[in-house]
Amino acid sequence: MSSEEKMPFTEHLVELRKRLIICIVSVAVGFLISYGFKEAIFGWLMRPMIAALPEGGTQKLIYTGPVEALMTYLKVSLVGGIGLATPVLLYQFWSFVAPGLYTHERRYLYPVLISSTLFFLGGAAFGYYLVFPFGFQFFTSFANEYITPMITTREYFSFAVKFLLAFGLIFELPLITFIFAKIGIINNKFLRKQRKYAVVIIFLIAAVLTPTPDAFNQFMMAAPMLVLYEMSVWIAHFFGRKEAVEEPVKQEQTESAA
């Protein structure tokens, strides 16, 4: 029995409050640090959009409200603060749940936390460096002598953060598959059998997660999800619990012998 099961419920609440306060303070410190570099952070985030704007037009984003630029910088600083505080947030999460886990469960939790962070960052990087340049070139290709793109800071920031967040989440698929395959919930045969349904679900998920309703963005999000699904099939093949599939056969053989 784990030591956490013996802890009174009130002590759980005290411990949770302590962890939450540390998390809030760490995010606040990260926010203040990020606010000092808000122009540089937002400039980096805007770079793909600025590069896609047509030459001869406005090579800057605009803001149309008195407080729009300030609110955008505050949001940028908050996102940056959460990013800087991520190691502290993960450590606090680990410290809170680890005492309630068994030894073999603790062995997997820390690698899973690190892997999930790396997968998320990899997905966000994929969206920023590979999808953004093509996507924004497509969006700005409609500019002509009659219309020109004038993107506001609020709209762009909201679009970019949602898009990067969506890519970060969908890149967690191999890790989720690894966990489910390890505990015997799924296997590679199941994933192969459900492939045709998965394709439909992937495009539905892409339609929901994509901030815009156009088919181009949905395809740009669905394409890596299809690749990740095929990767998950092989992950389940190599890391799945084969004994979970063989156990009913062994049980039948034992019963027949008896």
- DSSP tag of 146: S
pLDDT per residue of the chain (258 residues) written in tens, 0 to 9? 444 445 666 777 888 899 999 999 999 999 999 999 999 999 999 999 998 888 766 678 889 988 999 999 999 999 999 999 988 998 888 888 777 777 776 777 778 888 888 889 999 998 899 888 888 888 888 888 888 888 899 999 998 998 898 888 888 888 888 878 877 777 778 888 888 888 888 888 877 766 566 677 778 778 888 888 888 888 887 777 655 444 444 455 555 555
Q: Is 56 left (phi over 0), alpha (psi -120 to 50) or beta?
A: left
Rounded to whole angstroms, how far apart are CA atoms 211 and 159? 6
Overall residue count recorded for the chain in this entry: 258
- DSSP tag of 4: G
| CA-to-CA separations, 173 to 20, 178, 182, 236, in angstroms, rounded | 28, 9, 14, 12
Look at residue 31 in the predicted model and tell me its pLDDT. Answer: 96
Reference 72, options 94, 112, 45, 97; nearest CA is 45
- Which burial class, exposed, middle or buried, applies to 172 when counting CB atoms under 10 A from its CB (0-12, 13-18, 19+)? middle
Tokens describing residue 243: 């004994």
CA count, 13 A, side-chain hemisphere, 52: 22
| CA-to-CA separations, 111 to 22, 30, 35, 107, 173, in angstroms, rounded | 23, 25, 32, 8, 16
Contacts 24+ apart (CB under 8 A), 5-13: 5/100, 7/99
Cβ-count burial 9-42 (b if 16+ within 10 Å, e if not): eeeeeeeeeebeebbeebbeebbeebbeebeebb
- Which burial class, exposed, middle or buried, applies to 211 when counting CB atoms under 10 A from its CB (0-12, 13-18, 19+)? middle
Rounded to whole angstroms, how far apart are CA atoms 148 and 130? 24
Look at residue 242 in the predicted model and tell me its pLDDT. Answer: 58
- DSSP tag of 109: H
What is the pTM (predicted TM-score) of this model? Answer: 0.75
Tokens describing residue 173: 């698929």
Tokens describing residue 202: 């992937």
Q: Which residue is associated with the tokens 């999930």?
A: 116
CA count, 13 A, side-chain hemisphere, 115: 13
